[in-house]
Each structure stands twice: as C-alpha cells, then as structure tokens.
C-alpha cells in the first residue's frame, strides 16, 4: 500500500475541504508535514485510521470527530457532515476509500466550568471503497473491511502508522508479548494459527464421534484422550493469562521506575537500584552456570569413588610384571604363524601330530591372548590417568564450590543493598515517593508469585502431553473393526497430523524470522546511533525480549536514554518491515522529540532508504531546518499546518524545505 492523497472535510479542526498529496516517487518518497503542537498533526494521523479502519485512535468518541466551528453554525439546522477520503495504490491497482459521518439535532450546552459542549445524534456512518479503473470509472468493492485488511491488516497498522512518543515502549520491560504479537502480525501468522485452532476443533469432533462408535477399551481410550485434550486447553489458557499478568507486572514496575526517576531527590537511588538489579540478574545467571558445571562434574564421581579398586588393580598388574608374566616374551601371533606355515624359524618342518607341534600348542595354551596382553600392558598408564582425573575432579569441584560461595555472598550483599534502597524510598518523607515505592513493591511481589506458577503450569502441560502421547500409542495399537470407525479414525489421523505439521512449521518460521529480524535490527540500530562502539549487538530472545548488548556482551537496555530507546524500537519496526518485503507506508507522528543531533542526522539520511514511503509529522523544533539538508534530496512534498486562533481551525498549505 502507498497512500497518494488524503482529503478531509470537517474532521476535528480541519474545516471545509483540506487536501494533502503524498510523495510516492521511488527517489523522492518522503512527505514532510510541519506543524506546532496543537495544530492537528495527530488528528491528520487519526483521520487516516478512521477512514480505513473506523477507529480514530486519539479521538475518544464520535462527538469529538466533527469540526466544532461547523457544529456551532449547524444548531437548529438539519445535519452536518464529516468526510475523510484516502486514495492509495496496491499491487498495481488504485483505490479510494471514503468514510462519512452525518449528524443531526445539534445543540450546544455549557458544563460547570462554562465550556461549550456540543451534542447531536449520529445519523449515519458509512464507508465506501472503490477501485479506479483505467478508464477513470470507479467500481465498488462490496466487502470494504475485508479488502482493506487483506492489504494492510488492522493488527499490522500500528507498526506502520505510529506515534513516535510511544514507540520506545516496545523496548521497555514487560512488552515481550507485544513484540511477539508484532512479529506475528507483520508476518500475518494469524492465518496459520487460525488453521491450527480450526484443525484442533476438527480433531475434537472426530474424537467425540470415535468414542461414540467404538467399544470396550478403545471407547475408554478415546474418552481419556478427549478429557486430556480439554485439560491441556485449560492449562494453555491459564498459561496465557499468567504470561499476560507477568507482562503487566513488569510494565508496572517499569512505569513506577520511570516516575521515580523523574523525582530529582531520589534519582540517584533509583539509578543505583537499576544497576544492582542488573548485577543481581547477572549473578543469578553465574550461579546457575556454576551449578550446571558442578552437576556435570559430579556425573564423573565414580572415578573418585573407585580409588580403592584402582589401587588394588595396579598392585595385581605390578606383581605380574615382577613375575615376568607380563609381557609373556613370546607373542600369541608368532606361535600361530608357525603352526599355519608348518616351518620352524630354524627351517625344520613341523609335521602334524609331531612332538614339535605338541610343544608349540602347549606353549600357546600358556600364552596370554594378544588383545588381553596389550590391555594389561596399557592398564597401568590408564589407571594413572584415572587417578590424575580423580584429582582434577576433586580440585575442580572445590574451585566451583568456592566460586559458588563467592557468588552467593555477592548476591546476599546485593540483595541487602536493594533492600536498603527500598526501605529508604518507602520511608521517604515525600508522600508521592513512598506511595510509588509501595506500589512498585506490590508489583514486584506479584511478579515473584507469578513466575513459579508459570513454571508449574508449563510442567503440567508437558506432563499432560506425555500422557496424551501414551494414549495415542495405545489407540494406534488397538484394532477398529467397524467400517465407519475405521473411516473416522483415518480422517482424525489426517487432521491431527496436519495440525502437528502446521504447529511445527509455525514454530520454526517464527524462530527463523525472529533471528532474521534480530539481524536486521542490529544493522539498522548500529547505523542510527552515534555510540555504535558502545552497543555491539541486538538480541531478540526465544521469549521475545528485546535486548541491547554492550561491548562486553552484557545487557545494556536499561542504560539507553529515551532517545536511544526510540532508535532501538524504530530499528525493530523497520526490521520487521524489511523482513516482510511488503510495500507499506511509514507514517510517523512526532517521531524525533527525544532524539539528539547525531542520531537525528543518521535517521534523516538512512530512513528514506529503509521504507517505500515515509510521512513525517513534525514540529520545527524536533526537526529544525539545519537538519533538512540530510533528507532534502528524498523529499517530494512539504506541507505546513496553520492554526487560526480566532476560528480554532487549521488549514493545510503546501510549502518547501
């Protein structure tokens, strides 16, 4: 989708008909819309959303949509009309979408503060979507919502039409589910997930039918399978709810931290707590790593415990060496060769049944077999190696134990420091600080309670799936004699196999795209920042946690400034767009408010190359004229919004950089 033109009539502060034509040229794909705060940049953004999807975002209700000046003149008249028209192209076709809201019985009243309030009854709201033919004629598209959502799905749009001031929320703790949903939305994986859900319902229907038409043990097995499947559904629903609660708790903690950071008297303490929490997380990881190493070493403990056996074996072998039994002196293979060739080394023939043959065979019976003799010869060296290995294991476990104690001591000290900060903030004389800290503590407690529940529920799901697998194996071995039952089972098996294949494809594709988006994010983030040497890598974990790693490979997301977080989130969104290879517009409202000079220059230079179409709704302050040279070669259209204090309305005028 590329947006060509937007026309507004009586939408919010845009009175009468106002038009903006957007740049769509490959070389000049940037449209700049300048306007001061309150001029209507966000409402231009809202108008596009309302026209295409029927949702205006920042506009709370329909009474806020219609232009107030028009409403004031329409009192006692028949009706007023708000219209937004969006013209766009997609896959070589041109479309125009028109949404209209008509209202009647307009009246004005005043609230208790003396402010005017307009009330009216919405008469009709309609949407028209048409395809513009080569002849210029327009043919109506019957299912407008379905067509628009097939071009740019509603759940995808917030990653292409977004508020720059809120963009950094993606990189904050507690937004993992949003990151995951974002990837799935942009890649349109809901189609596969819907198919998986549908096949699951189909499998349940077949199970119910098979239970009905089966007899004896088989009927019981199908009943058990249905019951276990229902239990798994309940557990997965519980897991989803717990994960949402987990994310919400993390969001709350992050919000309380941000609010505390705004208070200068506790700013240092909050920053210190941030560092301590990062350190505590690192120490937990170190402790877990040490425990894994200790477990690995203890699996070889039999070497240490077999010391007495090794010593005894070594003693026996040494005695045999002293008696000359090892080595034997004459090798088994030498005597066997004499018997096969029938010629002694002196040249005498060895006849069958002769005394010479008897003597060689007698000697051969007393000789240790070659392989065993070799083993006996090598055994002392191997026993010495095991003794050395036993010493290494003991010393290694002692070292790991010392490291664990050291890490545990530091963890205890870190937790004490965190507790001191908590007590200090909780007991602060400023009531606001104390309340925020108590609310944060409540959220931390909630988070701590949810984590073990998530782990337990995950374990319960695994257990039930193992039970289900055993039931399936029993069903597979059972015979179905009834013809209808055989047919149902065959269909059920096909549905189940299809569902499992789709689940596997979906999971593998999500992980593959996660890695691809991670690589793209790294490249884009590095190109936007001025401290590219400080932040070396971008990581999107298996749990969809966005993280930045510093030059030492340590998590550094919390060290990012507000502007750097914006760059980080922007890099992620651009990476998702690149991964889809979709032709989509990027409409950014107030995108650069917190970004400093160097990243802003980098964004100005790089961003037009990373999108098919770029629309920037900015103020002169956040994107001053001196930075325009970096983006000027790619700018195709420039508009300025002028707000009239006398009328409360905004006009759109085309201009230049």
In this model, does residue 567 exceed pLDDT 60? yes
Taking the C-alpha atoms of residue 579 and residue 581, their distance in angstroms, rounded to an integer, is 6
Cβ within 8 Å of residue 345, ≥6 positions away: 338
With b for 16 or more beta-carbon neighbours within 10 A and e for fewer, the 265-274 pattern comes to ebeebbeebe
Question: What pLDDT sits at residue 19?
Answer: 93
Q: Grade residue 99 by pLDDT with cuts at 50, 70 and 90.
A: very high
Mean pLDDT score, 573-597: 77
In this model, does residue 143 exceed pLDDT 90? no
Q: Which DSSP helix (H) or strand (E) runs through 235? A: helix 216-261
Looking at per-residue pLDDT, the higher value among 472 and 481 belongs to: 472
Cβ within 8 Å of residue 242, ≥6 positions away: 450, 453, 454, 457
In this model, does residue 547 exceed pLDDT 70? yes
* Angle subtended by helix axes 483-528 and 597-610, to nearest 10: 130
pTM: 0.65
pLDDT tens column, 278-295 = 888 889 989 999 999 988
With b for 16 or more beta-carbon neighbours within 10 A and e for fewer, the 172-192 pattern comes to bbbbbbbbbebbbbbbebeeb
DSSP-assigned beta bridge partners for residue 8:
18, 84
Contact 31, 615 (CB under 8 A): yes
Helices (H), 529-561: none
CATH superfamily of 2-21+40-154: P-loop containing nucleotide triphosphate hydrolases (3.40.50.300)
Looking at per-residue pLDDT, the higher value among 390 and 417 belongs to: 417
Q: Grade residue 59 by pLDDT with cuts at 50, 70 and 90.
A: very low
pLDDT tens column, 225-269 = 889 988 998 998 999 899 888 888 888 888 888 788 778 788 888
Question: What pLDDT sits at residue 638?
Answer: 92
Cβ within 8 Å of residue 98, ≥6 positions away: 51, 83, 84, 85, 127, 128, 129
Question: What pLDDT sits at residue 476?
Answer: 78
Question: What pLDDT sits at residue 550?
Answer: 77
Share of the chain above pLDDT 90, in %: 15
Contact 546, 179 (CB under 8 A): yes
Looking at per-residue pLDDT, the higher value among 368 and 323 belongs to: 323
DSSP class of residue 368?
Answer: P
Backbone torsions φ then ψ of 320, nearest 5 degrees = -65, -35
Q: Grade residue 364 by pLDDT with cuts at 50, 70 and 90.
A: low
Looking at every residue in the chain, the average pLDDT score rounds to 81
The structure tokens listed for 419 are 């507790």
DSSP SS3 for 107? strand
Taking the C-alpha atoms of residue 222 and residue 220, their distance in angstroms, rounded to an integer, is 6
Q: Grade residue 326 by pLDDT with cuts at 50, 70 and 90.
A: low
Among the residue ranges 112-116, 463-467, 622-626, the one predicted with the least confidence is: 112-116
Question: What pLDDT sits at residue 575?
Answer: 85
The structure tokens listed for 638 are 């420039």
DSSP class of residue 375?
Answer: H
Mean pLDDT score, 129-140: 85
Q: Grade residue 463 by pLDDT with cuts at 50, 70 and 90.
A: very high
Taking the C-alpha atoms of residue 150 and residue 158, their distance in angstroms, rounded to an integer, is 15
Reported residue count of the chain is: 657
Looking at per-residue pLDDT, the higher value among 51 and 352 belongs to: 51
Residue 552 buriedness (CB in 10 A; 0-12 / 13-18 / 19+): exposed
In this model, does residue 324 exceed pLDDT 60? no
Taking the C-alpha atoms of residue 535 and residue 603, their distance in angstroms, rounded to an integer, is 17
Contact 297, 396 (CB under 8 A): yes
DSSP SS3 for 91? coil
Contact 583, 556 (CB under 8 A): no
Distinct helix (H) and strand (E) counts, the chain: 18, 14
Question: What pLDDT sits at residue 370?
Answer: 52
Taking the C-alpha atoms of residue 291 and residue 335, their distance in angstroms, rounded to an integer, is 56
Q: Grade residue 108 by pLDDT with cuts at 50, 70 and 90.
A: low
Q: Grade residue 408 by pLDDT with cuts at 50, 70 and 90.
A: very high
Residue in 594, 589, 578, 605 with CA at minimum distance from that of residue 641: 589
The structure tokens listed for 104 are 């009647």
Q: Grade residue 60 by pLDDT with cuts at 50, 70 and 90.
A: very low
pLDDT tens column, 629-645 = 778 889 999 999 998 88
Share of the chain above pLDDT 70, in %: 84
DSSP SS3 for 591? coil
What are the CA-CA distances from residue 270 to residues 76, 254, 449 (Å)?
Answer: 58, 11, 23
């Amino acid at each position: 989708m590329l947006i060509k033109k937007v026309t507004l009539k009586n939408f919010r502060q845009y009175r009468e008909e106002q038009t903006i034509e957007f740049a769509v040229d490959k070389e000049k794909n940037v449209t700049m819309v300048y306007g001061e705060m309150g001029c209507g940049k966000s409402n231009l953004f809202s108008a596009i959303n309302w026209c295409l999807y029927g949702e205006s975002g920042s506009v709370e209700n329909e009474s806020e949509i219609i232009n107030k000046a028009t409403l004031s003149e329409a009192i006692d008249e028949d009706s007023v009309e708000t219209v937004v028209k969006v013209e766009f192209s997609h896959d070589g076709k041109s479309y125009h979408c028109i949404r209209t809201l008509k209202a009647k019985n307009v009246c004005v009243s005043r609230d208790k503060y003396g402010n005017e309030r307009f009330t009216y009854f919405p008469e009709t709201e309609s949407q028209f979507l048409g395809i513009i033919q080569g002849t210029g004629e327009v043919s109506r598209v019957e299912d407008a919502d379905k067509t628009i959502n097939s071009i740019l799905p509603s759940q995808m749009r917030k990653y292409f039409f977004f508020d720059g001031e809120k963009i950094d929320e993606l990189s904050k703790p507690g937004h993992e589910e949003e990151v995951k949903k974002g990837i799935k939305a942009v890649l349109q994986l809901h189609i596969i997930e819907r198919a998986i859900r549908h096949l699951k319902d189909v499998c349940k229907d077949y199970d119910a039918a098979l239970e009905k038409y089966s007899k004896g043990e088989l009927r019981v097995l199908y009943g058990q399978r249905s019951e276990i499947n229902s239990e798994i559904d309940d557990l997965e629903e519980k897991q989803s709810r717990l994960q949402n609660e987990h994310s919400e708790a993390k969001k709350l903690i992050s919000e309380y931290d941000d609010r505390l950071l705004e208070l200068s008297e506790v700013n240092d303490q909050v920053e210190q707590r941030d560092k301590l929490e990062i350190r505590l997380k690192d120490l937990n990881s170190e402790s877990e790593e040490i425990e894994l190493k200790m477990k690995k070493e203890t699996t070889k403990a039999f070497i240490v415990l077999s010391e007495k056996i090794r010593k005894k074996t070594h003693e026996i072998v040494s005695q045999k060496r002293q008696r000359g039994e090892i080595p034997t002196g004459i090798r088994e293979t030498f005597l066997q060769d004499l018997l096969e060739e029938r010629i002694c080394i002196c040249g005498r023939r060895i006849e069958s049944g002769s005394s010479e043959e008897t003597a060689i065979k007698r000697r051969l019976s007393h000789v240790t077999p070659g392989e065993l003799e070799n083993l006996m010869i090598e055994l002392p060296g191997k026993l010495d190696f095991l003794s050395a290995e036993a010493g290494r294991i003991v010393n290694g476990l002692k070292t790991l134990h010392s490291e664990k104690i050291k890490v545990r001591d530091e963890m205890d000290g870190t937790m004490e420091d965190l507790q001191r900060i908590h007590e200090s903030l909780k007991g602060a004389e400023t009531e606001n600080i104390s309340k925020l800290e108590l609310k944060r503590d409540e959220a931390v407690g909630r988070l701590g309670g949810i984590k073990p529940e998530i782990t337990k529920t995950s374990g319960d799901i695994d257990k039930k799936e193992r039970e289900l697998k055993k039931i399936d194996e029993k069903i597979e071995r059972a015979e179905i004699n009834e013809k209808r039952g055989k047919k149902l089972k065959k269909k059920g098996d096909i549905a189940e196999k299809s569902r499992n294949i789709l689940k596997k494809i979906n999971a593998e594709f999500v992980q593959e795209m996660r890695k691809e988006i991670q690589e793209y994010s790294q490249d884009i983030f590095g190109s936007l920042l001025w401290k590219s040497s400080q932040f070396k890598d971008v990581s999107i974990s298996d749990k969809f946690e966005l993280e930045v790693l510093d030059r030492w490979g340590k998590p550094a997301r919390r060290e990012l400034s507000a502007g750097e977080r914006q760059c980080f989130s922007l890099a992620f969104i651009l990476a998702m767009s690149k991964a889809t290879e979709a032709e989509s517009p990027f409409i950014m409202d107030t995108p650069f408010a917190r970004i400093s000079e160097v990243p802003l220059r980098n964004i100005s230079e790089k961003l037009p190359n990373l999108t098919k179409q770029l629309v920037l709704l900015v103020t002169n302050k956040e994107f001053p004229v001196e930075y325009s040279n970096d983006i000027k070669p790619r700018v195709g259209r420039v508009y300025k919004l002028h707000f009239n204090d006398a009328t409360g309305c905004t006009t759109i005028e085309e201009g230049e950089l």
